[in-house]
Amino acid sequence: MRPNLRSLIVLTALARTAVDSRATEQDILIEHTLSAGPLETPAGDAFLDRFKLAFNHRVEDVFADRFHPFNIMNWNLELARTDSNHLRDRTASTARNAISKSMVYGVREATVDLPLLRWLEERQGLIGDFLINSVGNVGEEAVSPLDVSYRPVERSWWDRLSERGGELHYGIRPFNPNPYAFLSLGIKEGDDLLFLGHLRYHYRAFAEHLVELALSVPLAHGLAVDLGASYQVGPKGAEERLTVKFFKQFKSGGILHVGMEVRERPACFAGIALPW
């Protein structure tokens, strides 16, 4: 099992502004944990054993991501706008979805280590990489270029991509609710990593085309700047969106995050996590 990151006390401040509504601000204090590091399942073990290991690995991350204080804050804002009091129902449905998603991820990551896929990876590099990235690499699905909030699993995926340097990753998600093809890589100059890029292409109902681009630029002193953009063309015309996110990791383990989106209803999200 991988070691867990130490628990954090998270202090968040959320501010969203809209043309037709005034800004809303709240604070929340909550403790959470997040697993770290890539999953390494023993290829020689039985499928069920690999599934259990993969499930235990993913369920921690999925729950930490779904029940992150930023998400809870969004729920409270949504319930306040709709005059609803069903936070318990929202929590229960999110927990059920997190369990089912963790099970699916566990099956996929256990499948990646099947002898056939490993044989293809060793003998047929391009085909093997394509299949393994399409079935596994589940952290890629957490990347949300247009979400201004902080998502632990997404940040962890960027960190792992950074560790792999200039490697190219590509695949498809045919069984995703919104199927897409993806391509991710790091651009280096010598030993220095310049930026990380992630591209998705959605093809919907033979009429709509959506391209999403995410860039992460690592800077000095634990800083990173993420840019997200999308361009969609369909029967209703063209639509463009742009987001900018700033991330700072402190030596003490603290995290600072600021995200902004430019659109008809501008949004701004700020949060800080301090070590306990």
Looking at residue 241, its amino acid is R
CA distance 57 to 65: 13
CA-based nearest residue to 144, from 192, 216, 79, 96? 216
The pLDDT of residue 23 is 33
What mean pLDDT is predicted for residues 7-27? 33
For 30, the 3-state DSSP assignment is strand
pLDDT exceeds 50 at position 61: yes
pLDDT exceeds 50 at position 274: yes
pLDDT exceeds 70 at position 96: yes
How many residues would you count in the chain?
276
Let me know: does 255 contact 234? Beta carbons within 8 Å: no
pLDDT > 70 fraction of the chain, expressed in percent and rounded: 76
Q: In which band, very low, low, confident or very high, does the pLDDT at 14 lie, cut at 50, 70 and 90?
A: very low
The reported pTM is 0.73
pLDDT exceeds 80 at position 74: no
- In the block, which residue shows the tokens 């969609």? 232
What mean pLDDT is predicted for residues 125-139? 84
Backbone angles phi, psi at 68, to 5 degrees: -60, 145
For 172, the 3-state DSSP assignment is strand
pLDDT, tens digit, for every residue of 179-199? 999 999 999 888 888 999 999
- In the block, which residue shows the tokens 């952290």? 139
Q: What's the chain's average pLDDT?
A: 77
Sketch the domain layout of the chain as residue ranges: 8-275
Best-predicted range by mean pLDDT (11-20, 168-177, 178-187, 246-255): 178-187
Let me know: does 72 contact 149? Beta carbons within 8 Å: no
The pLDDT of residue 15 is 34
The pLDDT of residue 245 is 94
Lowest mean per-residue pLDDT among 21-30, 86-95, 117-126, 237-246: 21-30
Give the H or E element holding residue 156. helix 152-163
